[in-house]
Structure 1
Amino acid sequence: MARTFEVDRCNRAAGGSPVRRWIKRLGFLLALLTIAAFIAYQQLWRPVSVHVVEVASGDLALEVTGTGLLDAHLSAVISTRIAGRILSIDVDQNDTVAAGQVVCRLDDSDLLRQVEIGQASVDVAGAAIDRAQTDVARSTAVLELARRDAKRMQEASQSGAASVQEVDTIVQQVKIAQADLARAEAGLVESRRQLAAAERTLDFYRAQLDDTVITSPFAGLVVRRDRDPGEVLVPGSSILRIIAPDQLWLSAWVDETAIASLAPEQEARIVFRSQPDHEYRGQVVRVGLEVDPESREFLVDIALTEVPPRWAIGQRAEAYIQTRVLADAVIVPARFIAARDGHMGVFVLSGDRAEWRPCEFGQRGREYVEVRSGLQPGERIVRGADEASSLALRPGKRVVLR
């Protein structure tokens, strides 16, 4: 009896009776089976929520895409041609200006004095011409008198009334009068050249004075202001930037593989990153002839036929240029295409299950892709209704349409 009691006590210490141990094992096994059944249901029997679309036949618009910046076709950086201090700036950023409107004035006090000095030099040169013309007239009269005296002396010499010495003296006086006339005429030429130089100097000073008043070269919009009154400028310093807002372009970078398919007058869609859900229309106006050696892209200029209510020069946008239309093509939405085992294809709805079907795809449009083989119009294809459903979608999987 004592030995039996000892055995029972050892069994209780080891974990209870055999019945209890079997109950625990059975409970653990049932839990595993429940988990396995849940996983099997999730993987094999629970339907996946999907979106469905019918394969169609229609026109497919083929597009070339590119990313670019908004700019103005007509643009000018307003700068100064002379050094000077800004007296006033009459416009500010976002102001509209007319062609020829004064936008900036420089301090002109020094140039006004230079113009006065230049005008005085012109007046002095003009007076010098008057004096030189008077000298020419006097020398001409002296020469004519000398010639008449020489003629009378020669006649007197032939009759013996004048000596040879007297004839030589009068001839020498004629030569002196000729030399005086030549000197007076040279002085007149020099005075006229001095007047021309003084006038050119005055014109230069006046042009510089005119350069103190800076005007807009065309009607437009001020998009940038770089200076304020009181600042000192050197020639070429930027003051303002003015653009023509009715000539906005998008300069888009496009891969070089699209060169052969692009041409002017092609229609384009513009999507600004500030408005990703809105499209604006445009038209290709110029196709670049130079490819960037690093990015292997070239520029395509697109004129916007409509613009956002608010825009900014340098704003980034995506361009979708329609190159041609593929007629009567079998097409499917690009978002329904998937990759499986290294092959592209779609899930086809067969009864209440999704069946995988590899396909051969061709040209790609904005939202649709051409199907060259593997599908027929009228068939229905599916894709997961959300990210989790897309991951759970497999061949033979039951589906439920959302």
Structure 2
Amino acid sequence: MYEKWSAIRPWLMRLLKLAIVASVAVGVIYWLKFAPVPVISHTVEHGTIIAEVMGTGTLEARIETTISPKISGRVVEVLVDQGSRVAKGDLLVRLDDEELQQQVAIARANVDAVSAAIARLNTDKERAAAVYNQAKKSHDRVQLLVLQNATSQDDADKAVESLAVAEAGVSRAEAAITEGRQELIAAQKALEYQGARLKDAKLHAPFDGLVVKRGRENGDVVVPGSLILSLISTEELWISAWVDETEMARLKTEQPARVVFRSEPEKAYPGKVVRLGREADRETREFIVDVRVLELPENWAVGQRAEAFIQITQRDNALLLPARLIFKQNDSMGVFVSVAGVAQWRPITVGVRNGDTVEVLEGLTEGETVVTPKTPGNLLSDGRRVVAL
């Protein structure tokens, strides 16, 4: 009996192992094919979706200028600082103008001297004219006496000579006045020039704006073109955003936009497209789109980075679905719909996309439940049982 048991025992052990392996295999097959797959469910609903084009750029001012002198000089006082708001015509910078005032005084005195000289020349002309009139009368009287043989030829010659001298005196006086007037014009131009230089010693704001940079301090010596202040107009600030050239056909001016500054990534500020670039970068294949910022954050700086999201399309009452729930099988796009706890494959047609949200045009209806495996490694198949967690 013991010998029989010894012979049968190995076969029983083998059968037991085979049974265990078979049970495990059956369990695994059941688990893989028939056990419910834990899924995350989503109910399809209607809502609003907006399609956007994104571009990254910097905040820029449409109108900006450099406050720099036209003349060389020493800065006496800079009346504003970085961050100061100014109005058109406000005095911003004063240069040392003591020498310029002296030059203006000299030029003005020169004008007065030439004017006085012209007045004197006019008096000389009047005297020369009087002499001429007297010589003319004397000449005419002598000529009459000559006709009457009542005077000598010597007296007639003297009368002619006196008249000629008087005429020359008038001509000389007129020439002197003409020359004096030319000198007066030159003196007046010199006065205007020195006056303009004196005005250039004071630099004024050309428009209402904001000082964004200060480059010089009191006592600095500056030359024409030196940057003292940088001024921008705050009436129109925009994001010069680089957008991929493939989006060019969908963009136009006046499209609404939202601007997200990197200093406040959780908040969007309203904007609109004001200008489209007409030259694309040959390396990056992007072009500039200028988006005007209609509202600015409390703290901002020209040149800071921001993203502009330009609204292309808005669909109201659209059937919406998270993009992560969409799968691709056999070159077909679709989702798994839970029907009575069983996953069913449903091909769909999508429309507008915005980030993680997609518009469903065909294949789903409102209220249906779309599922996706809770564990990324799990795969769903048509007809597989599912359980929502």
Query: Do the two structures share a fold, i.e. TM-score over 0.5?
Result: yes
Matched, 1:136 2:125: yes
Decide whether the 8 Å contact of 1:93 with 1:224 is kept in 2.
Answer: yes
Please tell me the residue identity of whatever aligns with 1:292: A
Quote the residue 2:44 is aligned against.
55
Please tell me the residue identity of whatever aligns with 1:131: R
Instruction: Give the alignment of 1:247-326 within 5 angstroms.
Output: 247-284=236-273, 286-288=274-276, 290-294=278-282, 295-326=284-315
Quote the residue 1:197 is aligned against.
186
Q: Which one is further off, 136-145 or 350-359? A: 350-359
Please tell me the residue identity of whatever aligns with 1:209: L
Matched, 1:111 2:96: no
Decide whether the 8 Å contact of 2:56 with 2:306 is kept in 1.
Answer: yes
| Cα distance, 1:342 vs structure 2 | 6.1
SS in 2 for 1:238: coil
Change over 3 Å in CA distance of 1:236–1:261 after alignment to 2: same
Matched, 1:83 2:72: yes
Q: Which one is further off, 71-80 or 104-113? A: 71-80
Decide whether the 8 Å contact of 2:73 with 2:222 is kept in 1.
Answer: yes
Structure 1, gaps ≥5 residues long: 1-18
- Taking every aligned residue pair, what percent have the same amino acid on both sides? 40
| Cα distance, 1:160 vs structure 2 | 0.5
TM-score (norm 1): 0.78
Quote the residue 1:178 is aligned against.
167
CA deviation vs aligned residue, 1:208-250 (integer Å, no higher than 9, x gap): 1111111223333222112222222221222112234453322
| Cα distance, 1:134 vs structure 2 | 2.1
Decide whether the 8 Å contact of 2:77 with 2:94 is kept in 1.
Answer: yes
Distance 1:211 1:39 in 2: 93
Matched, 1:124 2:113: yes
Distance 1:341 1:271 in 2: 39
TM-score (norm 2): 0.80
| Cα distance, 1:157 vs structure 2 | 0.6
| Cα distance, 1:383 vs structure 2 | 4.5
Distance 1:335 1:222 in 2: 49
Decide whether the 8 Å contact of 2:146 with 2:153 is kept in 1.
Answer: yes
CA deviation vs aligned residue, 1:303-323 (integer Å, no higher than 9, x gap): 323221221111221122223
Once superposed, what is the RMSD of the aligned Cα atoms? 3.5
Distance 1:391 1:69 in 2: 42
Distance 1:335 1:61 in 2: 18
Distance 1:114 1:342 in 2: 87
The number of aligned residues is 371
CA deviation vs aligned residue, 1:3-23 (integer Å, no higher than 9, x gap): xxxxxxxxxxxxxxxx9xxx9
CA deviation vs aligned residue, 1:344-390 (integer Å, no higher than 9, x gap): 544444555656655443332355323344444433324566xxx34
Decide whether the 8 Å contact of 1:288 with 1:300 is kept in 2.
Answer: yes
SS in 2 for 1:275: coil
| Cα distance, 1:121 vs structure 2 | 1.8
Distance 2:388 2:35 in 1: 15
Distance 2:291 2:37 in 1: 49
Quote the residue 1:217 is aligned against.
206
Decide whether the 8 Å contact of 2:66 with 2:229 is kept in 1.
Answer: yes
